[in-house]
Homo-oligomer: A and B are copies of this chain.
């Protein structure tokens, strides 16, 4: 960027005000002309809007973290239902919790100072803690009952094929991520599948099971290669982030859009906190990609992004 370009490019920061009847669209439109994370949020909203409006864009969504336990199952469900996700990559934990909620069990919370909770007391009470959300051990019994009765059609199918099968076994009228993905034929990939309570129970009850993780890996590479345009939204990093990006790495059309919501940072060198521009060096996102990383707890900003998309897409 030469000097003149840079200076010509600068605009006034928007010293905005909010009214009682402001809309999320107006607020995001004001944030774009500020800075720090407010601006990054606005930019992410704009990028996601572009991804949804670009009919050629395959929208990859990487979901790590405990988003289902904390109450975001309905948001992810609607992201899929409304066509904002084409490929979901997630963790076994989120799927385990999705099944629990879908079978009618609940995660619990309360107006409790989490520092005052004694975890050895919780252990005696058989209540598992996920920061300030709780899951009674008894849920796992219901889960086991469900899993032990599954008639798995093929012991060496890919994980994503298995998850598609699994979604179909879940009750109607639930807000299940697995269910809606099965119904809409949205593939769910789970590269660290055996790293989950779901897989543990599957493994205990099906000693011959050997779901083929390599098939998933190669299939996602094929999807990435065939996409005319790719867009990526990463929640929290982890294996979903890397699994999506490794499939983009040598693509003819690596990701043109990229959004990342994380509390991690680049300096300690881990992938979850790595900047999106770093992915450019690897060819995982395109050198002309539009991208935005929001440093935030996703529980605050993912609902805002959904709200924004819902407002602008159905306009």
Q: Is A301 interfacial (CB-CB < 8 Å)?
A: yes
Q: Is A264 on the interface with B (CB-CB < 8 A)?
A: yes
Task: Determine whether the beta carbon of B297 is less than 8 Å from that of A65.
Answer: no
Q: Which residues of B contact A122 (CB under 8 A)?
A: 280-281
What per-residue 1/0 map shows which CB atoms of A121-150 lie under 8 Å from chain B?
Answer: 111010111111110000000000000000
For residue A196, give the distance in angstroms from its CB to the closest CB of chain B. Answer: 7
The chain B residue with its CB closest to the CB of A108 is B10
Given contacts A13-B69, A200-B246, A217-B200, contact A109 B265 (CB under 8 A): no
Residues in chain B near residue A110, CB distance under 8 A: 6, 9-11
Contact of A271 among B16, B93, B211, B297 (CB under 8 A): B93
In the complex the two chains form, is A116's CB within 8 Å of B3's CB? no
Contact A195-B239, Cβ < 8 Å, known A18-B310, A269-B133: yes
Cross-interface CB contact of A281 among B123, B203, B268, B271, cutoff 8 Å: B123
Nearest Cβ on chain B to A45's Cβ, whole angstroms: 12
Interface: A253 (CB within 8 A)? no
Is A193 in the interface zone, CB < 8 Å from B?
yes
Query: Is A66 among interface residues, defined by CB-CB distance under 8 A?
Result: yes
Distance of A221 from chain B, by nearest CB (Å) = 7
Given contacts A74-B15, A195-B242, A269-B70, contact A9 B112 (CB under 8 A): yes
Q: Smallest Cβ distance from A215 to chain B, in angstroms? A: 8
* Nearest CB in chain B to that of A274: its residue: B131
Rounded to whole angstroms, the CA-CA distance of A132 and B267 in the bound complex is: 8
- Interface segment out of the listed A30-38, A49-57, A178-186: A30-38
Q: Are A20 and B268 in contact (CB under 8 A)?
A: no
How many chain A residues sit at the interface, stated as a range, is 35 or more
CB-nearest residue of chain B to A89: B195
Closest to A174 in B: B15
Chain B CB within 8 A of A295 CB = yes
Are B119's CB and A281's CB within 8 A?
A: yes
* List of 7 A-B pairs having minimum Cβ-Cβ separation, nearest first: A34-B71, A38-B299, A37-B297, A120-B287, A192-B192, A122-B281, A119-B280
Residues of A within 8 A of B (CB): 1, 3, 6-7, 9-20, 22, 27, 30-31, 33-39, 41, 64-66, 69-75, 77-78, 93, 101, 106-113, 115-123, 125, 127-134, 156, 175, 191-197, 199-200, 202-204, 209-218, 221, 236, 238-239, 242-243, 246, 263-275, 277-283, 287, 295-301, 303, 306-307, 310-311, 314
